[in-house]
Amino acid sequence: MSIVSKDISKAVDLLTAEELVAIPTETVYGLAGNIYSEKAIKSIFETKQRPFFNPLIVHIPSLDYLEKIVAYIPEKGKLLAEAFWPGPITLVLKKKTIIPDIITAGKDTVAVRVPNHPLTLELLNQLDFPLAAPSANPFSSISPTTAEHVETYFMDKIKMVLDGGACKSGIESTIIGFEDDEPIIYRLGSTPIEAIENVVGKIEVKNKKEISPDAPGMLERHYAPKTKTILTRNLSKSIEKHRNKRIGVLMFNDILNDDVIQFKIVLSEGKNLEEAASKLYDALHQLDKQDLDIIIAEQLPDYGLGKSINDRLERATK
């Protein structure tokens, strides 16, 4: 029997009873639990097999709610929240003591955002607590962008996936922390750097940290298919090198035909980076099912969302 449902009242009941529910957002599906329930939060880490040193993102219903859980918001943090929420930006801010240390991996900061998905905003507004919701996939696997992806991963481990359709943005939120009140990008994501710099000026990127990461998504290997995957600037050369193997190809636009390719996915015929981002994880899920020896992924243009897509592909190929 399927665990996928559109029933918000059922999701409310399960979450209130300290169970986990996978929820849709505009970025990816999240594995959600009550942030004040130690049982629920431990269950998130255990279900995902996620290390406890990797902090979780807290999802709240509105900007107004922020003051309930954070102690301080830098001026540029306010500008970013006002410009992009609801939306795919996560801010790492000084937490109030009400936020349990298990959520923040013992740090004095909490990662928080307002998701831009009508179903999940409705859910959050019906709950008396925010939701911790890392991506609803086993740790380091490909993130889920449909309810079916989640069900495949966790059919026997959770009781419900709240079905909100395919995720529009398709890659995780951009995470921004603050050092001396100046914003720093900790994770590239669905909000391009250029859009952020239009609001707060030039911004530094520090998006890799293996030990005690400041935010989710900073570990070197992440978002990875089970099939060996390589990233290349030169598809033809890489295909030639692996001609004796069953090859799958992930390319930006359709520029290459070769009989040796067993399975090919084009992210955007029209070279649209937003379309490419929205299709990325679903494409990797499809390629991973094809019994291939290798997936060869083409590096995208290194600007806008191309930077974020390349970041995910680099981590998938480590």
Give the per-residue pLDDT at 140.
Answer: 80
The amino acid occupying position 157 is K
Euclidean distance between CA atoms 296 and 22, whole angstroms:
30
Read off the pLDDT of residues 143-166 as tens digits, 9 standing for 90 and up.
999 999 999 999 999 999 999 999
Read off the pLDDT of residues 152-208 as tens digits, 9 standing for 90 and up.
999 999 999 999 999 999 999 999 999 999 999 999 999 999 999 999 999 999 866
Question: What homologous superfamily does CATH list for 4-205?
Answer: DHBP synthase (3.90.870.10)
Confidence of residue 210 (pLDDT cuts 50, 70, 90): low
Confidence of residue 6 (pLDDT cuts 50, 70, 90): very high
Give the per-residue pLDDT at 256.
Answer: 77
Q: Break the chain into its structural domains and give their ranges.
A: 4-205, 229-316
Confidence of residue 213 (pLDDT cuts 50, 70, 90): low
Does 276 score more than 60 pLDDT?
yes
- Mean pLDDT value across residues 57-74: 97
Read off the pLDDT of residues 232-244 as tens digits, 9 standing for 90 and up.
999 999 999 999 9
Give the per-residue pLDDT at 53.
Answer: 87
Collapsed DSSP state (helix, strand, coil) of residue 172: coil
For residue 128, count CB atoms less than 10 angstroms from its CB and return exposed for 0-12, middle for 13-18, buried for 19 or more: exposed
CATH of domain 229-316: 3.40.50.11030
Q: Which regions of 35-98 does DSSP assign to beta strands (E)? A: 57-59, 70-72, 89-95
Q: Give this prediction's pTM.
A: 0.92
* Beta-strand pair 109-113/57-59: parallel
pLDDT more than 90, % of the chain? 86
Q: For residue 236, what are its two tokens?
A: 């033809």
Collapsed DSSP state (helix, strand, coil) of residue 41: helix
Chain position carrying tokens 């952020």: 196
